[in-house]
Structure 1
């Protein structure tokens, strides 16, 4: 592993406070890193001779997943190169570890692709835009997140069959937005960085196309209004729950939603009492007062996403009284895909790793965020199933809207990195010209070709019967 990768982040445990340096002095330190890791060295992608077979990596990542769901995972990944990319975080993590690293570490997302950003409600009921999936979060070099985000932009543009010139433009614009936002954060007061957020209801981008911005604002306004109408009792509850029988019960929709047996979920017979108590203890005291009003009524496993398929993810239905439900999404937390290359987590429970990383990176987080360990020795974290959560519909975007969307993602990523990393040093390394922008754009473009080649390997393995895939209607 590159020695630079082992440098600690400001929040690493047991660190002694670093001597004070002004932002300008720290920016100089960042510029000095270019001597050993030139920005141009971040450009391009060439697979190393020792690169592992992609199917082997994917099959290795299936360890511990529910065997009956693995074919669904591969079926979802087989839908397109973009879908494959979403499910192949472990593949890219191994690839990123072979590229030059600046050594400037942040709390990294670990899976910063376009579909892991979106809107959601804060505890104050404002709707913000931020990273919304942090299952792989871990301290790591900042450019790993940025390279994955840029590569996802190229692959998304190819998925939409945009012209090559538009693809290059929006990818370069993404990197430029990250760089310029990082320069802004480098000279902001620390509290201002921490309190900064992207408010969807007030979102503006002065550098964006005015017509595109007007269209985007209308779409956002309509989407927020639609989500506000989807309250849990009136929308989510009847969608997920049947009241036939003595008590409400989550509907089975095989194979995507089903109730586990005692072999699969050892805590079933006790009503998951031990895991719920452990989760409760992870909550802040004032949230416990609220949580204690609710009681578990039912829990079912639910297949979610692409990369998470096969892990033990579920939905818990809690009731405070009639017509007063709370749905918690319970997700299994496994070791981050970055761990073999960036170092082990400081936390004994991977659910806690996810939650602590989420609290560092997000401008605001769900009040019910907490973690636990099941009687099956799997780590879990929990949050509300839906709280005005909004994800982009990629196929509904044209070139202008996709360009604006990737700029929003770059802004959110820069803000998240600035909260944990040294924004001034990162800004100093990035510089004010387009050298870094061009380098990451070149990497992303060339890595998209690698992704397409890996996708073809998956399709070949499915056709040859090496792996089983189930496609859904």
Structure 2
């Protein structure tokens, strides 16, 4: 029975379906993780991903993943997707983030200029077992806790709090009217109130500074950092290989060809925006563009930053056009219903987020000189964003942060999955919470083994890694 069909059953019937999921996977079954006997070599997995990436940027990706087990985990979504496919599942599905580690929960601006807390990165989004997102979130917290020297007990408290928040929030959404689930959101003031009541004075000040700083991280601040005046004209500042304007990438004729392709990308992507946003975008003109290296797992995929100006040089708009390959979940959860992978990302983001970037859209173009068509999604480069700093969190702060992440992920899943069935599966006991504590620790051990395998591959010359300092 499809998820849509579930919604036409009575609440009692949907709850019964959720409880029936315990026959497929008991809640305690989620505690177990052991690598499959035929588990692929993790280096082979990430090397396959790298095959279609920009060759000179791939060593930067490996260099970033080498820095720590946590940085490795951020770039290893494909490895974990392989492992999650072999874990127990209730049979209930929702739209997944696909890469729900803790740093993909952050402060964002709504089009109405409210500061919100939400899921951010949707490169891997796809419908799939809701458990996969919760497990990736729990593991990320354990790995971050280990990096910060938290004890086993402290890490367990963080994970239990996070998963309990997901479970209890899903129960609350199960009791809500459908429209109220879609209205639900966590704004900055609610976040501050929830955290400050449980924090000491020093921690409250840090949270308050983070909220204030987020409001300054807009396109004007990004422009200050990324652009300057060259021969009287505003241009993106080169910082190769991390930021490389077109002039530094290709000779004249080839550069002109790529520039034209990217201009066409902006023009054609506008058709995927609502009419009012198309009218807004039409008031800007493209003045410069550059290749940018982003993230950890995304390094090597094509990513362009495009500088547009409105009225004058003090009226900038910075767009990011990011390549969208197929989701790493597709092999295990099923291919996307969207032919364009950029549309897959945009549709998943709009479905999971309470409110999305007003310039979010997609397009497919023949990008580059190899004649290949590639899918992209486009959004603002920066708009009131603040990324959590795991290394600065105390155990209590990380526990409260996990609580907000759990509630946010439950809300995101409740919009697309059968919230009544998922809530019934989870039930009122802490069986699932305790199971994920064990799973997260076991998988963090595996992540450390995979991290060591990458280090060995670099030492043996199997792959090449470049540190940021030498990039």
Global fold match (TM > 0.5): yes
Query: Could you tell me which residue of structure 2 aligns to residue 356 of structure 1?
Result: 347
Distance in 1 (alpha carbons) for counterparts of 2:73 and 2:412? 22
Distance in 1 (alpha carbons) for counterparts of 2:305 and 2:255? 13
TM-score (norm 1): 0.93
Instruction: Report the RMSD for the aligned CA atoms in angstroms.
Output: 1.9
- 8 Å CA contact 1:147–1:444 kept in 2: the answer is yes
The one of 286, 305, 310 aligned to 1:296: 286
Query: Could you tell me which residue of structure 2 aligns to residue 14 of structure 1?
Result: none
- 8 Å CA contact 2:144–2:391 kept in 1: the answer is no
Distance in 1 (alpha carbons) for counterparts of 2:354 and 2:278? 22
1:93-242 superposed matches below 5 A: 93-203=81-191, 210-212=197-199, 217-233=204-220, 235-242=221-228
Query: Could you tell me which residue of structure 2 aligns to residue 447 of structure 1?
Result: 443
| 3-state SS, counterpart of residue 272 of structure 1 | helix
Deviation digits for residues 407-429 of structure 1 (CA, Å, limit 9, x no counterpart): 11111100100000011100111
Counterparts in 2 of 1:230 and 1:114: CA distance versus 1, 3 Å: closer
| 3-state SS, counterpart of residue 61 of structure 1 | helix
1:50-449 superposed matches below 5 A: 50-203=38-191, 210-212=197-199, 217-233=204-220, 235-245=221-231, 247-260=233-246, 261=249, 267-270=257-260, 272-322=262-312, 323-376=314-367, 377-449=373-445
- 8 Å CA contact 1:351–1:380 kept in 2: the answer is yes
Counterparts in 2 of 1:172 and 1:262: CA distance versus 1, 3 Å: same
Distance in 2 (alpha carbons) for counterparts of 1:18 and 1:285? 34
C-alpha deviation, 1:240, in angstroms: 1.1
Counterparts in 2 of 1:209 and 1:299: CA distance versus 1, 3 Å: closer
- 8 Å CA contact 1:40–1:435 kept in 2: the answer is yes
| 3-state SS, counterpart of residue 121 of structure 2 | coil
Deviation digits for residues 217-266 of structure 1 (CA, Å, limit 9, x no counterpart): 54333223233345533x32232112112532101101100024459878
The one of 8, 13, 35 aligned to 1:20: 8
Structure 2: where are the runs of 5+ without partners? Answer: 368-372
Q: Which moved more, 1:435-444 or 1:72-81?
A: 435-444
Distance in 2 (alpha carbons) for counterparts of 1:28 and 1:266? 61
Counterparts in 2 of 1:205 and 1:239: CA distance versus 1, 3 Å: closer
Distance in 2 (alpha carbons) for counterparts of 1:213 and 1:417? 32
C-alpha deviation, 1:315, in angstroms: 0.8
- 8 Å CA contact 2:7–2:14 kept in 1: the answer is no
Distance in 2 (alpha carbons) for counterparts of 1:296 and 1:349? 24
Query: Could you tell me which residue of structure 2 aligns to residue 30 of structure 1?
Result: 18
Deviation digits for residues 200-224 of structure 1 (CA, Å, limit 9, x no counterpart): 1222676x78342765554333223
Query: Could you tell me which residue of structure 2 aligns to residue 39 of structure 1?
Result: 27
- 8 Å CA contact 2:20–2:425 kept in 1: the answer is yes
Distance in 1 (alpha carbons) for counterparts of 2:463 and 2:262? 34
Structure 1: where are the runs of 5+ without partners? Answer: 1-6, 11-16
- 8 Å CA contact 2:261–2:366 kept in 1: the answer is no
TM-score (norm 2): 0.93
| 3-state SS, counterpart of residue 270 of structure 1 | helix
Distance in 2 (alpha carbons) for counterparts of 1:129 and 1:166? 24
Counterparts in 2 of 1:325 and 1:195: CA distance versus 1, 3 Å: same
